[in-house]
Amino acid sequence: MKFIIIGYRDAYFWNEYGTSVRDLQIAEILSRKYHVTFINRPVSIYERLKNKKKAKSEYKAYSNRITFIDHTSYDLIGPLFGRIWTKYCYKKILNRISSLFTDDSIIIDFTPIAELEFKNNKRITYWYDLIDNFSIHNRFSEKEKKAVRDKYAYVDENADIITAVSDKAIKNFLNPNKYVMPNGVYLENQNHECFIDGTPNKVYQLGFVGFVTDKLDIDFLNKLSKKFSIIIWGKFFDDSIRDKLNENIKIAGAFKYSDLPSIMKSFKVGLLPYLPEKSHDESPLKMYEYFKYGIPCLSSMNFEIKSRWFVNYLEYSKRDLLYEKINELIVSNNSESIKASIQKEWLFEIKVNKIIEDIIRRKECGKKNS
């Protein structure tokens, strides 16, 4: 059995940020047991000339386990349309590698817009994963959201299996082979090394880790900063957000996934301060990262984790009571207890392997019935 992955991210992202997102984590987990081919999103000639000539088209850490396929598109018009270009940009590269599509091939598609015509190819298993709910993504235009809805309609009708980060993301799909597969605790090195952490020297009381966009609850952070010390780790996608933050909030900058062990020592309570009306994170990875490193979480939304170390600040109508609760989290921060509370079924590898087991069963049943 072999996997051909068409990711939302690619090796260029992998080299810059590490294994920090769902599709790359799934690719790495699968590569531990199976042959994995990872197809980068075609690079436009403009990108190639501007900044991807020197960038790496494979992620060297896993190049012995994963075959990366890179492709330059000489389409001069398509890239000018931004994300909409991805609707058609994979056609040439998929035709070129069509010999890879054999009876034991499983194609995992993470792309929100790309038209990938697999419905007439009965040799492969077509697995679509909703890495995010892009139909409500705050950074997608209305035209792009329409393209996402078209893609989801195609997937619903033609995919052999569909997985999604949440019930909400998949509820409108009618495909009988749909499964909720939330994100989870990801252990990159197949051991519990990251559960073993030295005595932390946590300078800040509260911290945020992740990409910074306009869905961040700026007003809440600014109010908190008058009472608590705050550090923000991550790349800013909206410079205007940086300008709106109080000056006493520490901006630490972008990071790689491999930096997390030291980053997580810099604060005591992890933040998920998203504006609910703009949030599309229905199973945020950073929630699991906080718990993995023994850090309680303060969030604006409820997710699949139920824990006394996970607190929704919007459920507190009185600020004094909320601040009291935050102080409890800070003072009672007990990394070993939080780590010990992690349940086996939270581990992302286990979630992925359950889906693989189901695919294997279905393939075996198909062979018996043929």
Mean pLDDT of 363-370: 66
Considering the domain architecture, whether residues 213 and 300 belong to the same structural domain is answered as yes
Considering the domain architecture, whether residues 282 and 352 belong to the same structural domain is answered as no
Instruction: Examine the pLDDT at 367 and tell me if it is beyond 70.
Output: no
Considering the domain architecture, whether residues 44 and 163 belong to the same structural domain is answered as yes
Tens digits of per-residue pLDDT, 170-211? Answer: 999 999 999 999 999 999 864 444 444 444 456 899 999 999
Q: What is the CATH number of the domain that holds 63?
A: 3.40.50.11010
pTM, two decimals, is 0.91
Tens digits of per-residue pLDDT, 29-57? Answer: 999 999 999 999 999 999 999 887 678 89
Considering the domain architecture, whether residues 29 and 97 belong to the same structural domain is answered as yes
Mean pLDDT of 70-92: 95
Considering the domain architecture, whether residues 20 and 121 belong to the same structural domain is answered as yes
Considering the domain architecture, whether residues 295 and 219 belong to the same structural domain is answered as yes
Q: What is the CATH number of the domain that holds 256?
A: 3.40.50.2000
Considering the domain architecture, whether residues 219 and 331 belong to the same structural domain is answered as yes
The pLDDT assigned to 119 comes to 67
Q: How many domains does the chain have?
A: 2
Tens digits of per-residue pLDDT, 102-130? Answer: 888 999 999 999 999 876 777 889 999 99
With a CB cutoff of 8 Å and minimum separation 6, the contacts of 277 are none
Range of the domain at 260: 193-344
The pLDDT assigned to 13 comes to 95
The pLDDT assigned to 348 comes to 97
The pLDDT assigned to 202 comes to 60
